[in-house]
Structure 1
Amino acid sequence: MIRDADRTRKKLLDAATAEFAELGIAGARVNRIAEVAGCNKAMLYAYYGSKDLLFDAVFTAHVAEFLVRVPFDATDLPGYAGRLHDYFEDNPAARRLSVWYRLERPGSAHLEAVVEVNRQRLEEVARAQEDGVLARHHPPVALLALVQAVSTSWSSMNPEFDALAPDREERRAAVVDAVRRLTAP
């Protein structure tokens, strides 16, 4: 019987995505990931090398999906902010992966996928500022950080805040309006 390596890798990646999103790197267990994927631990190590490298593969796949589903347009940062807000509202597992990445990997080697995306976006923001499309009162890196923070502000609130928060459409409208005001030239 011939093994389907690509299918096994995908099953491992899917199982690892769920495990890491729920428990982070420290809480995730290789045994559980292998069991859910229907393979043995040795296969996981053969394909990914270590739990950290498996997390890197999961997060790199997350970044690739994110880039497709949340297109970036430096000339329309309010629209981007609305899409970013929607993405994390609709995908709590993706939000948790991002939080785990920031919490558990701050001193690790930087993932090339993330470095390249940030570089491109900062260049686009700088160009839009030079063209007068975006405000220049913050450097590109600060402006992009603020846009991302505003966009994810509702999804990162304490659960107790939910009882006080407006409905989803009002939250989205507040995000888009805040980013519009922040970026208007």
Structure 2
Amino acid sequence: MQRNADRTRARILDAALTEFAALGIAGARVNRIAEVAGCNKAMLYAYYGNKDQLFDAVFTAYVEAYLEEVGFDAHDLPQYAGRVFDYFEEHPDHLRLAVWYRLERPESARLEAVLAVNASRLSELEKARRAGVYRSEFKPVELLSLIQSIATSWSSMNPEFAAASIPKARRRKAVVTAVARLLDQ
């Protein structure tokens, strides 16, 4: 039976996402990733180069999955924030992966997938602002940062804060309402 390279790559990415989300780049071990993926380290290196390149591939795949599920609509930012909230409630490992990316890659070369997403969203926000879709004293980059922070605030709280005692629907509503107020809507 012939091996399916795409299936092997997908298994490697899945195993690597779990490993990187749990332990970060520095703590992740390629031998564990290969073992969980059911391949050998040589195959992993052949497909992805080194551990840093594998992390880049995992993070790029995460960005693509996030974009596909969440989308972006500069004309309805409160609902966008609600979708971001929903995404990270359903995929806490993706939020951890993003945190590791920020912690371990603050000065590294930027990933094209992230640069493209940011440029597109900032451009859409500026167009919406000029069209009068929303009122805000904040520049697009400030506004996007605040919206992302509000949308992920519950997912990033300390466990001792007991956010779980507040029903998910109420937490989501708080996110949507906070972003609407931020926009003076």
Q: TM-score range by the shorter chain?
A: over 0.9
Within 2, Cα distance between the matches of 1:138 and 1:27?
A: 38
Mapped partners of 2:14, 2:178: distance in 1: 36
Residue in 2 that maps onto 1:134: 134
Shift of 1:116: 0.3
RMSD (Å), alpha carbons: 1.3
Deviates more, 1:166-175 or 1:54-63: 166-175
Runs of 4+ in 1 over 4 A off after TM superposition: none
Structure 1-normalised TM-score? 0.96
Q: How does 1:2-151 map to 2 (within 5 A)?
A: 2-151=2-151
Q: Is the 8 A contact 2:84 2:152 kept in 1?
A: yes
SS in 2 for 1:47: helix
Distance 1:33 1:108, change over 3 A: same
Paired residue type of 1:43: M
Q: How far, CA to CA, are the matches of 2:173 and 2:153 in structure 1?
A: 13
- Any unmatched runs of 5+ in structure 1? none
Partner letter of residue 119 of structure 1?
Answer: A
Cα distance in 2 between the residues matched to 1:165 and 1:78: 23
Structure 1 CA distance for aligned equivalents of residues 164 and 13 of structure 2: 37
Structure 2 unmatched runs, 5+: none
Aligned residues: 185
TM-score by length of 2: 0.96
8 Å CA contact 1:133, 1:184 repeated in 2: no
- Percent identical across equivalent pairs? 64
* Cα deviation 1:111-150 (Å, max 9, x = unaligned): 1000000000000000111011112301100011000001
Identify the residue that residue 152 of structure 1 maps to in structure 2.
152
Query: Does the residue aligned with 2:75 lie in a helix, a strand or coil?
Result: helix
